[in-house]
Amino acid sequence: MAFVDLPAGSGFHSRKEPFATECLNPYVLRNDFPILSSSVHGKKLVYLDNAATSQKPRIVIDSLNRFYRETNANVHRGVHYLSEKATFAYESARQKVQRFLNASSEREIIFVRGATEGINLVAQSFGRDRIGENDEIIVSQLEHHSNIVPWQLLARQTGARLRVIPMNRQGELQLDGFESLLNSRTKIVAVTQVSNALGSITPVKEIIRLSHERGVPVLLDGAQAAPHMPVDLQELDCDFYVASGHKLFGPTGIGILYGKAELLEEMAPYQGGGEMIRRVSFEETTFLDIPHKFEAGTPDIAGAIGLGNALDYLTTLGMQRIAEYENQLLLYAEQAISQVSGVQIVGTASEKAGIISFVMDSAHPHDIATILDREGIAVRAGHHCSMPVMTFLGLPATTRMSLAFYNTREEIDTLIEGINKVKKVFE
C-alpha cells in the first residue's frame, strides 16, 4: 500500500493517507479530465453522478476532434486512403473492447448505441426465435428499466411470462428464490451485475452456474460494472454482456454487446440496411458474417474510436487498482453519511460498488439534490430508472451519489457539508 502526499487544507485527517494501490492518485488523475476543474454556481464542481454518466479524459476528447479533423470517412466501403484509415481505427477499437473484456474473439463484439440497444437486440434477435407462448424469462427485482421493458415487450409479442428474482431489504438478490424459478420453461435469464440504484453487486457467477446447469443462457447488464471492476468474460462464461460507452469514460451514443460466437451466428439480424449485407436482390438477401451482420448502416465511427481510447486509459490505470481505490472511497463515504443524524442509507448489501442511495427525514430527494447543486455538488435524485426497486422499498425516490476513481475524500467531506446545509434549511 502506497502513501501519497495530500495538499494542505484537503479536509483529510492526515497529511499522508493510505491509498489502496500504488500510484493511483486521484489528485493527479483529475488533471486528465478538463471538466473537473470547472465551477458551478461559483463553487468548485464536485461530480458525484458517475452512475448516470462519467466524465471524459482529454485523450478521449482529443481523439474525437482528431478523427473529424484528419480521418473522417465512412468505414468498410471505400478503397481510398481516408476510408482505409478510418476502417482500421474502427476495427482496432473492436479489438480493444475484446481485450478489455477478455472475450474469446473480436467477432463476438458488436457496436451498438448503448447497453439499452444491446439488450433490445438480444431480446428481438435471439429471443423472438426461441421464446414462445408459456415460456419464461427471468429478470431480477434490482433491474434498470432497460433490462425489464425489452423483455416485457418480447413477452407481449410471444405470449411468454416474466419471472422476477426477489431481493431483500438490504438490496441483495435471493439465490434460493432464483433457483426455485428455474424450470424447463425458462428460456433466458437477464440480470444486472451491479445495481444502478443501490450499488449492490449481484452473485452473477452463481446465477450463471445454476442457469447453465439447466441449459439456460444468461445475459448480464454490465453498464455499472465494467467501468469500475475487472470483467473477464471467459471466466464469467455468460452468453451475452452489455455495457455503455458513456459510463466507461467514453463518448455517448456508443455501446458494447458481447455474445458467444455460436449464438450470434445463429441469430437473425436485428436491423437491415447497408453495411450488413453480402448480396441483395428483390428475391433474397444474404448477410455478412458476425459481427457485421448486426451493424446496419453507418456506425458511430468516432464514438467507437473514442471508446477504444477510453479503454486504453482504463487499462493503463488497471481495473483492479480502480476497484480497490473506489472501494476504499465507498467505505469512507458510507461511514461519513451514516454519522449524519436524520439520514438513512438505502441499500446495504454486503458487496457493493461505489453507489450510495440515501434519504433524509426532513427533505425530499429532489430538494436535497437542488440544494447540493447550489453548492456545486452533482448528485442524482429520483427513482433512477429502477421503479420496481423503489416500490419494493416503499420509497418514491432517493438521492444517489456515485463514485469514480477521480473522486476524493475531500469531495465526500464537501458532500457532508452540503447535506448539513440541507438539514439547516428544512429542520
Convert the pLDDT of each residue in 361-409 to its tens digit.
999 999 999 999 999 999 999 999 999 999 999 999 999 999 999 999 9
* CATH code for the domain in which residue 346 is found: 3.90.1150.10
Q: Specify the pLDDT at position 22.
A: 59
Q: What range does the domain containing 255 cover?
A: 60-316
Angle between helices 301-317 and 319-338 (to 10 degrees): 80
Tell me: pLDDT of 47 over 50: yes
pLDDT digits (tens, 9 = 90+) for 76-109: 978 999 999 999 999 999 999 999 999 999 999 9
Residue at which a domain ends, from 287, 316, 345: 316
Calpha distance 112→253 (Å, rounded):
8
Calpha distance 58→46 (Å, rounded):
18
Q: Specify the pLDDT at position 274.
A: 86
Domain shared by 356 and 417, yes or no: yes
Query: Which residues are designated catalytic?
Result: 385
Q: Which of 302, 272, 260 is nearest to 107 (CA)?
A: 260
* Position 20, amino acid: A
| Residue 53 counted as domain residue | no
| Residue 346 counted as domain residue | yes
β-strands 218-221, 240-244: how paired? parallel
| Residue 55 counted as domain residue | no
Domain shared by 97 and 218, yes or no: yes
CA dist list (Å): 174 to 60, 140, 181, 202, 247: 40, 10, 11, 10, 27
| pTM reported for the whole predicted model | 0.94
Query: How many domains does the chain divide into?
Result: 2
